[in-house]
């Protein structure tokens, strides 16, 4: 048997999260000690593993509770629902990305940006931004929305040939 502090440490969760799961009907102690402390069994630990895995995937507490009440039905339904929700979120983020780029273009905010970026290179370096940070940003932007990424680079003042060269360099450093 394990205490709430031991369980919290095992799963890197706060005690309050475990108490919340208890209040929500997801995860309760199998028994209490003579002093009234919550005591958790190996079966409780296995249940928390499932809860933690589903929460890490972004599944809501309500859906996890429903799944745990009927585990023989499998998790496929809630996992597919999560995939659909993620796809919707990705679509929303791409729309926001496009809207931001359009606003930046419309307001001319990037005109001369390349020169300003060069002027501020030392400041950026002093702020702790590393080449790895830049690479990670560009890789992420490129994989999420290649056309928007190229469009952004062109608006920063890079020629099509420079964009191609920059993307090649980014891929080499991967």
Using DSSP, state whether 40 is helix, strand or coil: strand
Beta strands in the chain (DSSP E): 2-3, 31-32, 38-40
Residue 50 CB partners (closer than 8 Å, separation 6+): 64, 68
CATH 1.20.120.1200 assigned to domain 2-74? The reply is no
Q: What is the reported pTM?
A: 0.58
Is residue 34 within 8 Å of 23, Cβ to Cβ?
no
Task: Determine the Cα–Cα distance for residues 51 and 39; give it in Å rounded to an integer.
Answer: 18
pLDDT band at 173 (very low <50, low <70, confident <90, very high): confident
Q: In this prediction, what percent of the chain has a pLDDT beyond 70? A: 85
Residue 43 pLDDT more than 90? yes
Q: How confident is the model at residue 124, as a pLDDT?
A: 59
Strands 2-3, 38-40: pairing kind: antiparallel
Domain locations in the chain as residue ranges? 2-74, 77-172
Q: How confident is the model at residue 60, as a pLDDT?
A: 93
Give the count of beta carbons closer than 10 Å to the beta carbon of residue 50.
Answer: 16
Q: Write out pLDDT tens, residues 68-127.
A: 998 888 888 899 999 999 989 988 988 898 888 777 767 665 555 555 555 555 655 666
The encoded tokens of residue 131 equal: 């080449």
Can you list the pairs that 10-13 forms with residues at least 24 positions away whose Cβ atoms lie under 8 Å? Answer: 10/45, 11/48, 11/49, 11/52, 13/52
Q: How confident is the model at residue 103, as a pLDDT?
A: 78
Task: Determine the Cα–Cα distance for residues 33 and 16; give it in Å rounded to an integer.
Answer: 19
Residue 155 pLDDT more than 70? yes
Q: How confident is the model at residue 115, as a pLDDT?
A: 54
Residue 15 pLDDT more than 70? yes
Q: How confident is the model at residue 51, as a pLDDT?
A: 96
More confident residue, 154 or 85: 85
């Amino acid at each position: 048997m394990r205490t709430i502090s031991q369980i919290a440490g095992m799963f890197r969760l706060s005690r309050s999260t475990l108490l919340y799961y208890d209040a929500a009907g997801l995860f309760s102690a199998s028994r209490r000690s003579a002093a009234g402390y919550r005591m958790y069994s190996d079966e409780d630990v296995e249940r928390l593993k499932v809860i933690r895995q589903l929460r890490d995937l972004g599944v809501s507490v309500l859906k996890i509770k429903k799944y745990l009440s009927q585990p023989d039905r499998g998790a496929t339904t809630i996992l597919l629902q999560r995939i659909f929700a993620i796809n919707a979120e990705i679509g929303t983020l791409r729309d926001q990305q496009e809207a931001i780029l359009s606003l930046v273009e419309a307001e001319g905010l990037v005109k001369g940006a390349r020169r300003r970026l060069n002027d501020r290179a030392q400041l950026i370096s002093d702020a702790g931004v590393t080449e790895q940070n830049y690479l990670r940003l560009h890789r992420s932007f490129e994989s999420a929305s290649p056309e928007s990424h190229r469009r952004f680079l062109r608006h920063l003042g890079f020629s099509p040939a420079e964009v191609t060269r920059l993307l090649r360099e980014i891929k080499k450093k991967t």
